[in-house]
Structure 1
Amino acid sequence: MDFALFCTRVNILFLLIALCSPCKFIQSPMDFGPLNFHQTTDTSSLDFGRIVFDSPSAVLRPQSPKEISLLLGFLSASSFSKVTVAARGAGHSIDGQAQALDGIVIEMDSLPSTISIHRGRESGSSYADVSGGALWIELLRESLRFGLAPRSWTDYLYLSVGGTLSNGGISGQTFKHGPQISNVLQLDVVTGKGEQVTCSPTESSELFFAALGGLGQFGIITRARILLQDAPPKVKWVRAFYDDFETFTEDQELLVAMPDAVDYVEGFILLNEQSLHSSSVAFPSHLEFTPEFDSNGSNYRVYHCIEFAIHDYQVESTDVEQVVTEISRKMSHIPSHFYSVEVSYFDFLNRVRMEEVSLRSRGLWEVAHPWLNLFVPKSGIREFKDLLLDNISPTDFEGLVLIYPLLRDKWDANSSAVLPDGGGRAEEQVMYIVGVLRSANPATCAAQCLRDLLRRRRRVAKVATDPRIGAKQYLARHPSQGQWQDHFGRHWDRFVARKAQFDPLSILAPGQGIFPRTYASSS
């Protein structure tokens, strides 16, 4: 055996003894051969949700995927160890999914942020090789230098590539190009056994599809090859307002049925003046829209907004303004409330950054976020909307309620992502993503208030995922394995089999709460 590798394993052994000790005496950075472990950091037990705070016993800031491989390989061969490992990207989880109580957190942002752009000669052959800890905003900036960009995005770009690919990655382009996990050509993954594997749809395909949407359960994504397309210089960004929910959803479905003309579709519910203001921060146009919200909260009127966008490649053969006019004639929005602006492609994709700046200025960014995200079948969306409004007080709601349609056939059924059952009906090709993106303002919502919001969130989720509505949670953390089994439904056996193949000791992603840690049969 290589002497350096032997020394590394001996040093990790001492680390494991420290981690398993009831004294928990890891208090300072320690150098174990090539692996430099740190004491817990301010971020290692903190995420965007600020609801769960599980502290690890140590933090690894790797300089290469090999260091991750060494750690996981040793843990998987240690018969006495019960240490778990969580990979932390940008820390945008909601319920501690990237935390590891008394375990080890791997901070992926310490890996060198490498981005390599490859322009293909034919359409659809360009791609980017990106390290797993890099942020999507970094990929956007680099790819635009070549006139290219990924096809599918998240609304907020300051998230890690490996993090969103471990969940799904959705935004207003998903109806057209699918989620981010449907736009990946290749991955480098370190499995729970410490194996470094390059995988694709044709090479180690089981691991490739397992890791995409796999919640970090099968391996840690250290590199991804992302499909690119030509980037437009400009985007025509449109907003239309509604006072009727059915008309609002009908027009959204009209737009997603026009993928040759429309490039982005989202929508949101306006509950009060605050939600109107927060949703309009980034839109660079004066909205002369003054809905009459009932300040008493009884029999209040709810408004809705559709926003869609058209890429403007600025070619003479295409009149984007005329395209917008033709689309608007087919819609049934409030006639006097239709607005459009032209912005750069970068500014459009980075629009949520302005909302972040606004929230930070008001002290509403680094607060608790009892968010709830659900995929809701088309057949259940009206009932879900009623359920949601019955459990929200419009007078004190701070945040945004997103709601927009996705198309099932844009998702690869081989991936680990879970969607609602189609119900065997043709119309169930359409489903909706609903994001209740709430901020718990500490000035008006103390501990008891937050507990009440979390109870309401559980109540809505429970009713919504009942077969009557048939929704599935997105970015979930369920409290028991039985509930995870219900979540995966007919795909549970496949998920379990993949876990047994790639992380048999359940070392990875303990914060998801899916599998209890097991032990090796031999050292």
Structure 2
Amino acid sequence: MKNTPASDFFSPSDESMINSLASENGILYSLEAVKYYDDHIINTIDEELEMILKGLSFESGFLFKKDATFFDFLNRVRDEELLLQSIGLWDVPHPWLNLFIPRSGIMDFNEGVFVDIIQKQNRSSSGPFLVYPINRKKWDDNMSVVIPEDDEDMFYTVALLNSAKDYKDWVIMDEQNTEILKFCDKSGIKVKQYFPHYGKKEEWMKHFGKKWDIFKKRKAQFDPKMILSPGQRIFNSE
């Protein structure tokens, strides 16, 4: 991530180290992990963490830990909200781009988007970039949300959570999102957007793919007068 507001997870000295490493390497990838514990294992928690992290390879000295109550962990997004409010970055446009990416395409996406479009082209960004692997077997395919149509056992959620400080900034980030989607299409990475915006029925049909017929059937069954979600222009774009 670049130009991201400071987080209370890192101390000022931690941030200085991270910024120095980022200036040397350009892109940093961080892995977040959570370990729950209670009073019964409080004396062995450090040893358990050491065992969990034993198989990982990372830059020496760049392991950061924070102890928090269960409530504070669940409420962490609220803390980030208050932080963004304090620096005027909450009530602003958020040109987010959320994608589902096939496992086979994640490395090409990394090289083409994170390394090329965002880093090498020095494109503007302000917000966290999150990547989550998802086990396809754990996914409920009865939902209307569309994921990559392949037989791979895993796919990735990539969330580019930008915040624009003004209209000009928003336009730049929106154009960047369009460029990312064009790159995926040109490279043959069969991504699916989460909450996409299309203006034509044909585009929605392509998005839903083999789910289109069942999606249309459910719409006719539960919303025959097409009252719900008119702004998405799925059925009222004709």
* TM-score, normalising length: structure 1: 0.41
1:489 CA displacement: 0.7
Contact persistence 1:506–1:517 (CA under 8 A): no
Q: Which one has a bigger Cα radius of gyration?
A: 1
1:433 CA displacement: 1.0
Contact persistence 2:133–2:156 (CA under 8 A): yes
The question of 1:485 aligning with 2:191 is answered no
Post-superposition Cα deviations, 1:23-57, rounded to whole Å, max 9, x if no partner, equal xxxxxxxxxxxxxxxxxxxxxxxxxxxxxxxxxxx
1:513 CA displacement: 1.5
Partner residue in 2 for 1:391: 117
Mapped to 2, the partners of 1:459 and 1:483 lie a distance apart of 17
Partner residue in 1 for 2:14: 287
1:101-140 pair list within 5 angstroms: none
Change (3 A) 1:311 1:292: closer
Partner residue in 2 for 1:460: 180
Mapped to 2, the partners of 1:402 and 1:350 lie a distance apart of 18
Mapped to 2, the partners of 1:376 and 1:318 lie a distance apart of 41
Q: Which amino acid aligns with 1:287?
A: D
Contact persistence 1:507–1:517 (CA under 8 A): no
Change (3 A) 1:465 1:406: farther
Post-superposition Cα deviations, 1:49-97, rounded to whole Å, max 9, x if no partner, equal xxxxxxxxxxxxxxxxxxxxxxxxxxxxxxxxxxxxxxxxxxxxxxxxx
1:315-334 pair list within 5 angstroms: 315-316=40-41, 319-334=44-59
Stretches of structure 2 lacking an aligned partner (at least 5 in a row): none
Partner residue in 1 for 2:131: 403
Q: Which amino acid aligns with 1:436?
A: L
Q: Secondary structure at the match of 2:35?
A: strand
1:218-237 pair list within 5 angstroms: none
Contact persistence 2:94–2:161 (CA under 8 A): yes
Instruction: Find the partner of 1:303 among 17, 25, 28.
Output: 28
1:397 CA displacement: 2.0
Change (3 A) 1:407 1:505: same
Q: Which amino acid aligns with 1:341?
A: K
Higher strand share: 1
Post-superposition Cα deviations, 1:407-440, rounded to whole Å, max 9, x if no partner, equal 1111111222211123x3xxx2221111111111
Mapped to 1, the partners of 2:217 and 2:194 lie a distance apart of 22
Residue identity over aligned pairs, in percent, reads: 34
Instruction: Find the partner of 2:156 among 427, 432, 441.
Output: 432
Change (3 A) 1:311 1:465: farther
Higher helix share: 2
**Of the two structures, which has the highest relative contact order with CA contacts closer than 8 Å and spacing of 6 or more?**
2
1:307 CA displacement: 0.7
The question of 1:371 aligning with 2:96 is answered yes
Partner residue in 2 for 1:347: 72
Partner residue in 2 for 1:361: 86
Post-superposition Cα deviations, 1:223-249, rounded to whole Å, max 9, x if no partner, equal xxxxxxxxxxxxxxxxxxxxxxxxxxx
Mapped to 1, the partners of 2:76 and 2:221 lie a distance apart of 41
The alignment of Structure 1 onto Structure 2 pairs a total of residues equal to 233
Stretches of structure 1 lacking an aligned partner (at least 5 in a row): 1-269, 519-523
